[in-house]
A and B are shown apart, each in its own frame.
Chain A
Amino acid sequence: MAKKRSSGIGSIEVDMTPMIDIVFQLIAFFMVINNFEQTQADERVKLPRDALAKPPEVKIEHEITLNVGYLRDVRGERTNPDPFLFNFGGEDMMPPLGSSKALEQEARLYRNREVEPKDVTVKIRADAEVPTGVVQEMIKLAQDAGFEKFAMSAMSSSEGQ
């Protein structure tokens, strides 16, 4: 509430304290709920949901993320019937089965950093409607590049099974 006080010169002074209190609370709220973590997640992928998909308690040290999904319009309808691998190997999108060179390059980069590809987790963020065979073929390509650990991502859901 504004409090008016008349001084000798006739100026009006407003008590800003409650407003500043509220604004600071709002800033604190937005800071807390904001997620500044740099993830490799792509928003074009609509993940499946499952009750057992709980966020990991310990952060995985070495991981690469494969985002497989569809191009969709604002209503969520597919604009292209084929799935794409998004945001990988320096390209915005590529066919999932054409990712072997990029996967081998990733494996080489890890070896250069003295990390064996078998210790790197390949996180597969596949769209709920992507054919399972495509995901499995990508796992095969990653295995050929030397990766052995895989993780399939899903949204946490309270309903689930």
Chain B
Amino acid sequence: MARNRKPQEKLETNMSAMIDVVFQLLIFFMLTLKLIEPEGDFNINMPARGKPTEPSPDPPPLDTKVKLRANPDGTLVGVYLGSRPLGNDSDAFKRLNIEILRLIGSPDNPLAEDMAVEIDADYNLHFKNVISAVGACTGRVDPRTQRVVKYIKNIKFKPPQKPGAAS
């Protein structure tokens, strides 16, 4: 504590120790800074194979088949809804999104609870295309409210087939 004896009795504190600590803290937080982009998940329930399914009085869900075909290098060749081609560019998934909306009638339709989409993707296909297809079937983000409008929640996958295996 430094004290100057002046007529006004002014008290001065030695700040250097605190400044040292504060700078060390600042450097610590700057070095440990790890900027992480926000991640999200698509939840998929896949019970183990061979498990006896419980008999249900309800009719089985209506399956919509989405086929994703790929070149040997994994790039997308085509998106098909059933047997209908929707293209192979980035707009193909937008078209898929529109077609799924047409199938369910209106967003958040309770009947969509009974519907399921089965994704049949080629073995080599880049995973990003599957995520785009899952996203297109699950819903869309309302551009005005930025809220997710849900379409079909039940997403299934056709078992994988290695290239060259008998189809």
**Which residues of A line the B interface, CB within 8 A?**
7, 13, 16, 19-20, 23-24, 26-27, 30-31, 33-35, 39, 41, 47-56, 121, 123, 125-133, 135-137, 139-140, 143-144, 146, 148-156, 160-161
CA distance A160 to B131 in the complex (A): 10
Q: List 12 A-B contacts (CB under 8 A).
A: A7-B4, A20-B15, A128-B131, A130-B126, A132-B125, A132-B129, A148-B46, A150-B46, A151-B43, A151-B44, A161-B132, A161-B136
A7 neighbours in B (Cβ, 8 Å): 4
Main secondary structure of the interface of A (DSSP, over half): mixed
Residue ID in chain B nearest A39 by CB atoms: B36
Check B126–A152 contact: CB distance below 8 A: no
Check A137–B148 contact: CB distance below 8 A: no
Which listed residue, A23, A51, A149, touches B22 by the CB 8 Å rule?
Answer: A23
Residue ID in chain A nearest B138 by CB atoms: A52
CA distance A44 to B18 in the complex (A): 40
A151 neighbours in B (Cβ, 8 Å): 41-44
B48 neighbours in A (Cβ, 8 Å): 143-144, 146, 148
What 13 new A-B contacts, CB under 8 Å, besides A35-B36, A50-B134, A52-B141? A30-B29, A48-B132, A52-B139, A52-B148, A123-B41, A132-B124, A133-B161, A135-B127, A136-B121, A137-B160, A156-B37, A156-B39, A161-B140
B84 neighbours in A (Cβ, 8 Å): none
Name the interface residues of B41-79: CB closer than 8 Å to any CB of A.
Answer: 41-49, 68, 74
Which listed residue, B25, B39, B74, touches A131 by the CB 8 Å rule?
Answer: B74
Supposing A54-B148, A149-B43 touch, asked if A131 and B124 sit within 8 A by C-beta, the answer is yes
Supposing A153-B40, A154-B131 touch, asked if A131 and B126 sit within 8 A by C-beta, the answer is yes
Which listed residue, A35, A52, A161, touches B40 by the CB 8 Å rule?
Answer: A52
Report how many residues on chain B are interfacial, defined by Cβ distance under 8 Å.
Answer: 59
Check B148–A149 contact: CB distance below 8 A: no
Main secondary structure of the interface of B (DSSP, over half): mixed
Check B26–A30 contact: CB distance below 8 A: yes
B40 neighbours in A (Cβ, 8 Å): 50, 52-56, 153-156
Supposing A27-B22, A51-B141, A132-B121 touch, asked if A34 and B33 sit within 8 A by C-beta, the answer is yes
B11 at the A interface (CB under 8 A): no
Q: How far is the CB of B121 from chain A (nearest CB, A)?
A: 4
Check B134–A152 contact: CB distance below 8 A: yes
Check A33–B33 contact: CB distance below 8 A: yes
Name the interface residues of B23-37: CB closer than 8 Å to any CB of A.
Answer: 23, 25-26, 29-30, 32-37
Check A47–B42 contact: CB distance below 8 A: no
Check B19–A16 contact: CB distance below 8 A: yes
